[in-house]
Amino acid sequence: MQQSVSRQDFDRWMVPAYSPASFVPDRAEGSVLWDQNGKDYIDFAGGIAVNALGHAHPELQQALTQQAAKLWHTGNGYTNAPILHLAKQLIDATFAERVFFCNSGAEANEAALKLARKYAHDNFGPEKSGIIAFNNAFHGRTLFTVSAGGQPAYSKDFAPLPAGIDHAVFNDLDSVARLINDRTAAVIVEPIQGEGGVLPAEPAFLRGLRELCDRHNALLIFDEVQSGVGRTGSLYAYMHYGVTPDVLSTAKALGGGFPIGAMLTTEKLGAALNVGSHGTTYGGNPLAGAVGGKVMELINRPEVLEGVQLRHRWFTDGLNAINQRLHLFKEIRGLGLLIGCVLNEDFSGKAKQFSLAAAQQGVMVLIAGANVVRFAPSLIISEQDVETGLARFERACESVIKGAS
Ligand SMILES: Cc1ncc(COP(=O)(O)O)c(C=O)c1O
């Protein structure tokens, strides 16, 4: 028998890179989660935009356990049927013609940035290596991706950082025009800045990036790690915007909770990653392939994607009603089921307090920076769970107001 463990054990045994909630989740079903003491929570966090089909979805359980009984892992000296099926599903559903599988969002972006550099080196020479990224962007925690990210707090202590990365201002095309030139290999951008505050790109900005990249033979990389797999109500946000990238990274919801990442690109560009140029031991393993294939099958349906728009309204109607009564947010923004409530001046910097109060009331929410309370629930959350969760969130808001006054 294993001894029971508690939240305090995290501080005793784990590197303090995280500061997890005071409760320890024990089990979950759909959009309800229970902690070790049996207290229930409505899950509006979705494992940070990962559990797109909620928890313990019966068809995902079946896909995983059936594959677990068959074949777990072979390494990349062999391919396997589940991952090939998933590659075909992604190709059929998007602009892509080639896929590279890995295990996380950071790895998908790492692959995208390395592809861009390699393609530029192979075709234009070593001078073409510049990367343009954006202030406040988030692309992951490997050294290359955290350097591309636009939050120096996450990268500065790990210097020296990879060179050749410049940062422009999100939604400001002129700031990109000033930096881009023929030595630029790629521009990497989130169609909606997620961690940076749930800030959607303006359509003209993404269209302008496409034009600038074409003019300078630079690749346009969309980081859709957070915005992809139905989150915006389109399968990928690029479809919503009508701007097609050259390379797209996807992860998080693609595995519905099972670790997987993928980089999508065209046949021509993908060819740059020739044999031996890049790789990962676990990327494209059959377990991830089986679960990802089922996730794609279940999410890429009109009724699910349209359901995201409906649920967006349930959330925004409910949050607007809370705001009319309590006057907390200066803006409620986002697309589909990636929603951010920007706190007004009276509560600025206090997003974490709202998420702590929410947990106390039995609802899990996210933050995106110090000023934004973020919601990224299951794409198939029920109306009842949304109502219950928002009622609990309203009580949490009231408790923060009381504490603040
Ligand atoms: C837009 C974006 N890119 C990349 C990442 C990194 O993904 P991962 O944590 O799976 O490495 C994240 C994670 O929050 C993200 O939101």
Q: Where does residue 41 rank: exposed (0-12), middle (13-18), buried (19+ CB within 10 A)?
A: buried
163-203 pLDDT tens trace? 999 999 999 999 999 999 999 999 999 999 999 999 999 99
Every domain range in the chain assigned CATH 3.90.1150.10: 7-56+302-404
Q: Are the C-beta atoms of 254 and 149 separated by less than 8 Å?
A: no
Q: Is the CB of 232 under 6 A from ligand 1?
A: no
Is 46 marked as a binding-site residue? Answer: no
Distance 371 CA to ligand 1 centre (A): 20
Q: Return the pLDDT at 314.
A: 98
Give the nearest ligand 1 atom to 106 CA.
11
1: pLDDT confidence band, cut at 50, 70 and 90? low
Looking only at the bridges linking them, the beta strands covering 261-265 and 247-250 are antiparallel
Distance 306 CA to ligand 1 centre (A): 25
Q: Is the CB of 104 under 6 A from ligand 1?
A: yes
Is 223 marked as a binding-site residue? Answer: yes
Q: Find residue 364's DSSP bridge partners.
A: 43
Q: Are the C-beta atoms of 23 and 362 separated by less than 8 Å?
A: no
Retrieve residue 9's tokens: 């054990």
**According to CATH, what is the number of the domain 71-299?**
3.40.640.10
User: Can you tell me the distance from the alpha carbon of 135 to that of 155, in angstroms, rounded to the nearest whole number?
Assistant: 13
Q: Return the pLDDT at 260.
A: 98
Number of Cβ within a 10 Å radius of residue 208: 17
**Which of 103, 151, 225, 231 to mutate to test ligand 1, by most ligand atoms within 8 A of the CB atom?**
225
368-378 pLDDT tens trace? 999 999 999 99
Nearest by Cα to 218 from 311, 293, 137, 113? 113
Distance 395 CA to ligand 1 centre (A): 31
Q: Residue with the nearest Cα to atom 3 of ligand 1? A: 139
Residue 366: CA count within 13 A, CB half-sphere: 23
Amino acid found at 36: Q
Q: Is the CB of 329 under 6 A from ligand 1?
A: no
User: Can you tell me the distance from the alpha carbon of 386 to that of 391, in angstroms, rounded to the nearest whole number?
Assistant: 8
Distance 1 CA to ligand 1 centre (A): 36
Distance 36 CA to ligand 1 centre (A): 28
**Which of 51, 110, 139 to mutate to test ligand 1, by most ligand atoms within 8 A of the CB atom?**
139
User: Can you tell me the distance from the alpha carbon of 153 to that of 318, in angstroms, rounded to the nearest whole number?
Assistant: 34
User: Can you tell me the distance from the alpha carbon of 237 to that of 116, in angstroms, rounded to the nearest whole number?
Assistant: 21
Q: Find residue 27's DSSP bridge partners.
A: 34
Retrieve residue 233's tokens: 């109500």
| Confidence check: pLDDT of 405 > 60 | no
Retrieve residue 60's tokens: 């995902």
SS (H, E, C) the chain: CCCCCCHHHHHHHCCCCCCCCCCCEEEEEECEEEECCCCEEEECCHHHHCCCCCECCHHHHHHHHHHHCCCCCCCCCCCCHHHHHHHHHHHHHCCCCEEEEECCHHHHHHHHHHHHHHHHHHHHCCCCCEEEEECCCCCCCCHHHHHHCCCHHHCHHHCCCCCCEEEECCCCHHHHHHHCCCCEEEEEECCEECCCCCEECCHHHHHHHHHHHHHCCCEEEEECCCCCCCCCCCCCHHHHHCCCCCEEEECHHHHECECCEEEEECHHHHCCCCCCCCCCCCCCCHHHHHHHHHHHHHHCCHHHHHHHHHHHHHHHHHHHHHHHHHCCEEEEEEECCEEEEEECHHHCCCHHHHHHHHHHHCEECEECCCCEEEECCCCCCCHHHHHHHHHHHHHHHHHHHHHHC
Residue 226: CA count within 13 A, CB half-sphere: 30
| Confidence check: pLDDT of 404 > 80 | no
Query: What is the residue-averaged pLDDT of the chain?
Result: 97
Give the nearest ligand 1 atom to 259 CA.
10
Sequence-separated (6 or more) residues with CB below 8 Å from residue 112: 186, 188, 221, 223, 247, 248, 249, 263, 265
84-100 pLDDT tens trace? 999 999 999 999 999 99
Every domain range in the chain assigned CATH 3.40.640.10: 71-299
125-141 pLDDT tens trace? 999 999 999 999 999 99
Give the nearest ligand 1 atom to 107 CA.
11
279-295 pLDDT tens trace? 999 999 999 999 999 99
2: pLDDT confidence band, cut at 50, 70 and 90? confident
User: Can you tell me the distance from the alpha carbon of 116 to that of 29, in angstroms, rounded to the nearest whole number?
Assistant: 41
Distance 261 CA to ligand 1 centre (A): 10
Is 247 marked as a binding-site residue? Answer: no
348-360 pLDDT tens trace? 999 999 999 999 9
Q: Is the CB of 251 under 6 A from ligand 1?
A: yes
Query: Which CATH code of 3.40.50.10540, 3.90.1150.10, 3.40.50.300, 3.40.1190.20 fits the domain covering 7-56+302-404?
Result: 3.90.1150.10
- Maximum Cα–Cα distance for the chain, whole Å? 64
Q: Are the C-beta atoms of 227 and 338 separated by less than 8 Å?
A: yes
68: pLDDT confidence band, cut at 50, 70 and 90? very high
115: pLDDT confidence band, cut at 50, 70 and 90? very high
Distance 107 CA to ligand 1 centre (A): 9
